[in-house]
């Protein structure tokens, strides 16, 4: 699902990420990365750390980022951005390409 937001808006964008090994309690941090070049693959250091909300059953985490100029976690330039997700545990740095994009108009 693509999300379209105005460049002057501040909006929460989230993705539900399943936890395949362990539980959501094992997650130490989550992050997001956006790029206008869909061929770019980020490294862990490229991510902005954001809010992660574990599901009640512990099988997933909702990765939430506040995008926009009013106290957002990050501000994106006008354009279509591929979204990437990071889930960190004590032993893993899981990086996944999100199924959606963020379009800023």
Domain ranges of the chain: 3-104
List Cα–Cα distances, 75 to 59, 66, 96, in angstroms.
30, 9, 21
pTM to 2 decimals? 0.90
Q: How far apart are CA 28 and CA 10, in angstroms?
A: 26
> Tokens 């693509």 sit at which residue?
2
Q: How far apart are CA 22 and CA 37, in angstroms?
A: 33
CATH architecture of 3-104: Sandwich (2.60)
Q: 41 CB contacts (<8 Å, ≥6 apart)?
A: 95
Q: Return per-residue pLDDT of the chain as tens, 105 residues.
A: 589 999 999 999 999 999 888 888 889 999 999 999 988 999 999 999 999 999 889 899 999 999 999 998 999 999 999 999 999 999 999 999 998 899 999
């Amino acid at each position: 699902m693509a999300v379209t937001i105005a460049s002057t808006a501040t909006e929460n964008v989230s993705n539900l990420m399943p936890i395949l090994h362990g539980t959501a309690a094992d997650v130490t941090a989550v992050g997001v990365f956006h790029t206008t070049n869909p061929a770019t693959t980020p490294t862990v250091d490229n991510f902005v750390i954001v809010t992660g909300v574990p599901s009640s059953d512990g099988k997933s985490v909702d990765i939430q980022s506040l995008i926009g100029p009013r106290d957002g976690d990050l501000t994106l330039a006008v354009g279509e951005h591929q979204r990437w997700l990071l889930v960190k545990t004590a032993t893993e740095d899981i990086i996944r390409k999100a199924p959606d994009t963020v379009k800023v108009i």
